[in-house]
Structures are given as structure tokens and as C-alpha cells.
Chains A and B, each alone.
Chain A
Amino acid sequence: MIGAIFKGLGTTLKYLFRKPVTVEYPDVKRPVRERFRGRHQLKRFANGLERCIGCSLCAAACPADAILVVPAENDPAAPHSPGERYAARYEINMLRCIYCGYCEDACPTNAIVLEHQYEISFYDRKSSVLTKTELLVAPDRGHGEIPPILQQLNRRPSPPAQIDL
């Protein structure tokens, strides 16, 4: 019995000199995995045009019915996106979203991406609905090819069939 007590004391003493496993969260942020699915972003092409063409396939694919897309016709003189239509309204209800990533898979232009941002809490329920202005990246942040985060989609055993304009 005495031996067991001293063995226990030895164990606790040993742990006293170990580094704690705690990650001090607001100060230290753990990096997320490459395929981590966080807050959505609507991407742009390299020339600044929106990738979203207002096809509503993401809204159709969404199992939680979190996405609302209201398409509109592009003005040929000053188009929002290549092609005929663009999303006049694009809203995601973050209280409904389950971060399954089906919208990424469904999107034919790789417009919607679940990015790595995970600090998406809010104070009132109205701010749970992200509007297009909040989702859309800045005009100079466009990509010529598939957005880097979505590269991993192509490395999956059966990459989704997608067109890139």
C-alpha cells in the first residue's frame, strides 16, 4: 500500500514537469486541416467577375435548406458574372447550415467555398443570415483556376465534374 502511494506521488510529480496539453485558445489558434469546412465564401475569377452564375444548384443540393439564391439577368454592358445570369441575392442561414459541403460539390463554377474561418458566432439571430456582401470576396481576390481550398476536391477518389470558365 505504501509503495502504491509513493508510485502515485511519483506519477503526479512527473506530470508537474511536463508541458500542459492546454491550447490557450484566444491567444493561440490551432491550425485547421486542409479540408476543414468553415464559413462560406463566394469566390471571383481572376478578372474580378463573380463566379456565381445564379444557377441555384447549391440551394437544391443543400440538405438543410440553408441557402437562398435569387437570380437575375446580367446587364451585358456591365456584367456581374460571365454568362447570362448572376445571383442578385445570395443568403446563407448559418443556424441551418450543417457544414456538409454539398454546395461546394454542386457548384459548377467553384463559386462557393467552405473556408477555414470558424469563429462565426453572433449576438442576435438576424445576423445568422449572411448576405451576399458578407459572403463575396473582395474584387482583387479572384482566382484564375480552381480556388486553392477546392484543389482538394480534385484529389478525392471521384472528383466532382466541374466546369471552369
Chain B
Amino acid sequence: MTRVDIVILIVKCIVLALAATGVFAYFTLFERRLLARMQNRVGPNRAGPAGFLQPIADALKLFFKEDVTPLLADRRVYLISPAFAIVPALIIWATIPLGMWPDGRGGNWLQLAEVNVGILYLLAVTSIGVYGIAIAGWASNNKYSMLGGVRASAQVISYELALGLAVLGAVMQAQSFSTAEIVERQTLMWNVVPQFLGFVVFIIAATAEVVRAPFDLVEAEQELVGGYNTEYSSMKFALFFMSEYVKLVAMNAIAVTLFLGGWQFPGLQTLAAAATQQYGFVIGNAVLGLASLGAFLLKVMLLSFVSVWVRATLPRVRYDQLMDLGWKVLLPLSLANVVVTAVLNVFLPDSPVVTAIAGLVIGTGILLATAAIGRPGKEKRRVTLVQG
């Protein structure tokens, strides 16, 4: 690795981190405007045209707020936990291929690090994030923060299993742990078809993993004031807020990478080949890079829209419902998905189309059966009358 490579790497890191925070800033605006419209409101539209400067105004406000540290907080831990929360959220992005811009040396400008166990890295980093929350809850020396932190760790641990197994389905389909390889293998057909069940489980488990509505018990205002970040103010609070949203968008990006074909879209290769033929390699690569990046961002935005949509629709689940869903529904479903994928790929290794259709049919069947079984029947209330 030469000195130039290191400089390039550092620049890429900085650009990626800034891009992730920029995406966070405008995702908040996107979410607020969209939520408002779904609730018959207008949303923030005063700062700049259509509220476009609202994130900047919010950031300025947070910077100038008073930074309060509770007297009895565990000072060092209290100060370090926002960093614990934000760093994993940012480094998730390292192994996600954001597009395909070949740098001419077998590398890709739009992927920071090509690790051959990229999926394991993603799983590890997404679950490290909960340390920040748990530590923050504990260090604040406040029982509501503490409860929020404990809830967060319990929830993330419960949903980690289902999440990991859902990811495993995509890994088995591609027979690789590398994110770039998984995207490459989806050229013919996106994983969402053969892995439909896995996709559904992944989306639900990922929503729970990033503690977002309807699984945001961690910050249930009615019960816990504000949750683990109650005692945090100013920029420290902003860091928690940021880590939550960056993680959400990152989860959507992972879902796109694993199940929705990553940066691929039909006709991409033809477009790039035509551009290369017309204008040469550099322009061809640039066209490929920009088109693939655009496709990737569009898909991430679609999934983000779904996140906002779900948040606007569903009420928060109860704690026992959360645990029931995680352990009794999603875990068996993801296990079934692994079994189905394994059996199909072993018995029909040479016919991807048949495998995919079989996977789709079986997955949908299992989902419908689960929905039918899990339908909450009319519970018969037993009333015990006591003679007075």
C-alpha cells in the first residue's frame, strides 16, 4: 500500500462519514415532512424553500443549547457513550457497496472496504451499537434512562438471531460472505424473489434492531420520559439522535444490498457498455458509477419511505408482544427460511429460475400460514365471581 493509497483511503473515509451525516440530516426532514402529510399537516416549511434549511437550523440550535451533565452521573462513561453509539452507526457503511465505479485496478471507488466476510462485519457492527445505548442508560444515573437502556439491549439481542438467520438465507443464495459478491450474484434476479421470506423477516427484524417505530419501546415517552437519552442535552443528544437515524438508513442500505440487488438494475450493463464504446473507458466507468449509485440511493430511499410509512401507521407494540414476535414468530420463520434455501439449493443446483420460483412460493406460503395461525382469536375472558 503506497502513501497515495492511504491518502485516498482517508479521503474516502471522510467523504463517506460526511455523506452519512448529511443523509441523516435530510432524512429527518424527509421523515418530518412525510409524517406530517400522512397526518394531514404540512410539516416544517418555514426555514428556506420547502423547509430545506430546517436540518441546518436544528443543528445550530443543538450546538448552542446548554450542555448539562447530571451531578451523580458516572462522568467518564456518560461522556463516552454518545461516541459509542455514533461510531458503529457510521462504520456500518464501510463494507456496503454504494455503486460500481471501477478504479481500473480491480477495485471499486464506491465501496470503502471490500472484506470477504463483509456480512459478518455488518452484523457485528450493527449489534455493537446497542452498547452505546445501554451504557448511556446506565451512566445517566436515572431509573428511566436505565430502563430504556435495559430494554434496548434485551430487544436487540432478541432480534439479532432472526436478523442473522435472515441474512444467512441471502448468504446461502450467493454462496459468499462478501457484500460485493452478493450484489454481483443478483444480476439475473434480485434475492427478494427466492428469499422473499428472508426479506420480510429481515425488514421486520431490522426495524426492531434499530429500535424504530413500531418497536421503539426504548424511548416510550409515556413510560420512560425519553428513554436512554433523557439526561442528555445539546450535541450529545444530537449524537444519539444521529446514530439512530444513520443506523436506520444503513439497515435499509443493507436490505437493498442483500435482497434488492444493491446497485444493479436491469439495463445497467448495456448502458455502461454503450457509454464505454462511445466515449472510452473513463467516461464509461463514470456513467456506470453514477448510474449504479443513483439506483442504489433510489432503492434506499424507497425503503426509507416504507420506514416512515410504517412509523406513521403502526402503534407501538407491547413488551410481551415484542418478545413473542421475536422469539415465537421471526426466529422460527428465519430458521424455516434457512432450511428451505438449503434444501432448494442442494436439490436444484442448476436451475436458478425454478429454485427462485419455488423459494418465492414456499416463502409466501409459510408467511400466509403463519399469519393465519397467529391471528389473534377472540380471547374468552374468564371472570371469577366472588360471593360477598
What residues make up the interface of A, taking CB atoms closer than 8 Å to B? 1-2, 5, 8-9, 11-13, 15-16, 18, 20-22, 24
The secondary-structure label for the interface of chain A is helix
Given contacts A1-B374, A2-B371, 6 further A-B contacts (CB under 8 A): A1-B375, A11-B313, A12-B309, A12-B313, A20-B40, A22-B41
Q: Taking CB as reference atom, which chain A residue is nearest B315?
A: A8
Q: Is the CB of B371 within 8 A of A1?
A: yes
* Chain B 21-45 interface 0/1 with A at a Cβ cutoff of 8 Å (1 = within): 0000000000000101111111001
Residue tally, chain B, CB below 8 Å to A: 18
Q: Is the CB of A1 within 8 A of B37?
A: no
Q: Is the CB of B38 within 8 A of A9?
A: no
What residues make up the interface of B, taking CB atoms closer than 8 Å to A? 34, 36-42, 45, 309-310, 312-314, 371, 374-376
Which residues of chain B have C-beta atoms less than 8 A from A9's C-beta? 309-310, 313
Q: Which of the listed residues A2, A12, A18 has the most CB atoms from chain B within 10 Å of its own CB?
A: A12
Q: Is the CB of B38 within 8 A of A16?
A: yes
Q: Is the CB of B310 within 8 A of A15?
A: no
Q: Which of A2, A5, A16 contacts B37 (CB 8 A)?
A: A16
Q: List 19 A-B contacts (CB under 8 A).
A: A1-B371, A2-B371, A5-B314, A9-B310, A9-B313, A11-B313, A12-B38, A12-B309, A13-B38, A13-B309, A15-B38, A15-B39, A16-B34, A16-B38, A18-B40, A20-B37, A20-B41, A21-B40, A22-B42
Per the bound structure, the CA–CA distance linking A86 and B348 in Å amounts to 104
Which residues of chain B have C-beta atoms less than 8 A from A15's C-beta? 37-40
Which residues of chain B have C-beta atoms less than 8 A from A18's C-beta? 40
Which residues of chain A have C-beta atoms less than 8 A from B313's C-beta? 5, 8-9, 11-12
Which residues of chain A have C-beta atoms less than 8 A from B40's C-beta? 15, 18, 20-22
Known: A15-B37, A21-B40. A1 touches B376 (CB 8 A): yes
Which residues of chain B have C-beta atoms less than 8 A from A11's C-beta? 313
Please give the distance in Å from A150's CB to the nearest CB on chain B.
Answer: 37
